[in-house]
Structure 1
Amino acid sequence: MSVVTDGRGLVEIHNVHKSFHGVEVLKGIDLTVHPGEVVALLGPSGSGKSTLLRTINHLESVDAGSVTVDGEFIGYELRHGKLHELHEREILQRRTRVGIVFQNFHLFPHLTALENVTEAPVALKRLSKDNARELALGLLDRVGLSDKADAYPRQLSGGQQQRVAIARALALKPQVLLFDEPTSALDPELVGEVLDVIRDLAKLGTTLVIVTHEIGFAREVADRVVFLDQGRVIEQGTPQEVLERPRHARTREFLAKVLG
């Protein structure tokens, strides 16, 4: 279980709606993630899990409702009682508080592992090149890749690339870290090395929101499991409550299929 470290990283999602091409994907989501909490989002394909995750750091805008991190909007500001979308530069600055790790890594292929991690702190003028390098080397060591600093993504396994992606997300010291199916693109034998890194993060008190299909991992690491279906939160509770004693028939049906 996680331990709150600095009281930051509160995510508040209120009545969020989102549609694509006339199809409503999120249908009034309400969810609060407390500082230092680890929340696993479960649900069938098309339930809205990844879309919900992407609204937290404004990779997806919302059609209605609001999302705040520590009481602040990422993509908007409130003026005269109305929300106005910020300019892209301002959004990028605010977005640094919310790191995200994608299922397909999204590393820059022409940069080494070290350069991938140092790129954002330097580009955003958070750190000098020397300080960013020092930070990046420490983060690569933290994810078990200190010997791969000069390797390019093509020279790394999928698991190693994902660990570099995690180090890159950590380089801006976010209050919240989002994971979108972080192991789904990996060969089965590489899944464990990525989950081990996430386990360590969970112990450090970073607020984590994880979209995952790894039921055993969710049971072990999450403080709370949230089950979504057809764009709605169907039920939520501790892993024991949701995974072992689900109240809703749809949750029971899903778990029966997933767990076989």
Structure 2
Amino acid sequence: MSTSVLPAAGAHEALETTAAREATRGLVEITKVRKSFGATEVLEGISLTVEPGGVAVIVGPSGSGKSTLLRTINHLEKVDAGFIAIDGTLVGYEVRGRRLHELREKEILRQRTEIGMVFQNFNLFPHLTALENVTEAPVVAPRAGKPRLSKAEARERGLELLDRVGLKDRAGAYPRQLSGGQQQRVAIARALALDPKILLFDEPTSALDPELVNEVLDVIRELANSGTTLIIVTHEMGFARDVADTVVFMDQGQIVEQGTPEQIFTNPQEDRTRSFFSKVIEPAFNI
């Protein structure tokens, strides 16, 4: 089945410009994206660019569209208008004439191998060990342009990634034998297994007990210095200030304000931004 979306006025020229860009790794361009569920418009013309190797952290109240925006980047949610491109290639669609036509599922799945995603609730396979969870994808569905790894190669790579997140000694453990923080670190290793161009984090600590949060945030901090493009939805404001190049504040389906952590946290320009931070940030944080 093919779904088509007619770009807004001027978008056709933008599509051509995007497609003509010199090849990069991890450039994310979100242009005038709209998304509705029934009569409720959840994303109201969102435009955002994240440069290669950049770290964009999206904050805002519940229901502001943050997670929906994240899910449109890898086409888990189809956009109703606008478009998203990674390194100049449209995500989920191709251009025919002046319309966007949805790609076939096989092509969409191939695109997703370049976009790692870490969910709130880990989503590990319960019948596989930590190592097997990490090695499954490189053997079964390697990233486009990458050779399929042998089981021995995948095991070696998987152990390296588990070591990177501090869990090499738990390679043989099943998810039920791991704490929530350990499961989330396995999920991060799994997302890294295909060497993605970008990593998406959808509130990666929201399902964790407070004492387990820092072990996951420490791993993401290390990734933020690795050169991989990261887009993170989080409610951890101190963490956002620490790792972000760009902080994006969303409310009611719109980007209200964006800028450096210093700009957004210490001198927000919009009343809605100031009101939100006055409720979620302790006074001592903003010194």
Q: TM-score, normalised by structure 2?
A: 0.87
Matched, 1:160 2:182: yes
> Do 2:24 and 2:87's aligned partners in 1 also have CA atoms closer than 8 Å?
no
Give the deviation of 1:82 after TM superposition.
1.9
Matched, 1:41 2:55: no
> Counterpart of 2:125?
108
Residue identity opposite 2:155 in structure 1: R
> Counterpart of 1:90?
107
The 1-side partners of 2:107 and 2:245 are apart by: 32
The 2-side partners of 1:127 and 1:213 are apart by: 37
* Match among 126, 138, 147 for residue 160 of structure 2: 138
> Counterpart of 1:23?
40
> Do 2:83 and 2:91's aligned partners in 1 also have CA atoms closer than 8 Å?
no
Matched, 1:10 2:27: yes
> Counterpart of 2:254?
232
- After superposition, the C-alpha distances for 1:214-236 in whole angstroms (9 at most, x for unaligned) are 00001110001000000000000
The 2-side partners of 1:91 and 1:70 are apart by: 15
Match of 2:125, SS state, is: coil
> Counterpart of 2:6?
none
The 2-side partners of 1:73 and 1:109 are apart by: 34
> Counterpart of 2:11?
none
> Do 2:30 and 2:83's aligned partners in 1 also have CA atoms closer than 8 Å?
yes
> Counterpart of 1:247?
269
- After superposition, the C-alpha distances for 1:101-159 in whole angstroms (9 at most, x for unaligned) are 00100000010000100111111153111111111110000000000100000000000
The 2-side partners of 1:200 and 1:85 are apart by: 36
Q: TM-score, normalised by structure 1?
A: 0.96
* Match among 95, 99, 110 for residue 78 of structure 1: 95
Give the deviation of 1:79 after TM superposition.
2.0
Matched, 1:148 2:165: no
> Do 2:91 and 2:111's aligned partners in 1 also have CA atoms closer than 8 Å?
yes
The 2-side partners of 1:242 and 1:259 are apart by: 12
Match of 2:136, SS state, is: helix
- After superposition, the C-alpha distances for 1:9-42 in whole angstroms (9 at most, x for unaligned) are 0000000000002210000001000000000000
**Unpaired stretches in structure 2, ≥5 consecutive residues:** 1-22, 143-147, 283-287
Larger radius of gyration: 2
> Counterpart of 1:3?
none
> Counterpart of 2:75?
58
The 2-side partners of 1:209 and 1:26 are apart by: 17
Aligned length: 255
Match of 1:103, SS state, is: coil
> Counterpart of 1:198?
220
The 2-side partners of 1:206 and 1:36 are apart by: 5
How big is the alpha-carbon RMSD for the aligned residues of Structure 1 and Structure 2?
Answer: 1.0
Match of 2:26, SS state, is: coil
Q: Which stretch of structure 1 is more off in the superposition, 134-143 or 74-83?
A: 74-83
> Do 2:124 and 2:187's aligned partners in 1 also have CA atoms closer than 8 Å?
yes
* Match among 151, 165, 190 for residue 129 of structure 1: 151
Percent same amino acid at aligned positions? 70
Matched, 1:68 2:85: yes
The 2-side partners of 1:198 and 1:36 are apart by: 14
Give the deviation of 1:259 after TM superposition.
1.4
Give the deviation of 1:176 after TM superposition.
0.4
Higher relative contact order (CA 8 A, sep 6+): 1
The 1-side partners of 2:38 and 2:99 are apart by: 25
The 2-side partners of 1:95 and 1:11 are apart by: 14
The 2-side partners of 1:250 and 1:177 are apart by: 28
Matched, 1:213 2:230: no
Runs in 1 of length 4+ with deviation above 4 angstroms?
none
The 2-side partners of 1:89 and 1:212 are apart by: 31
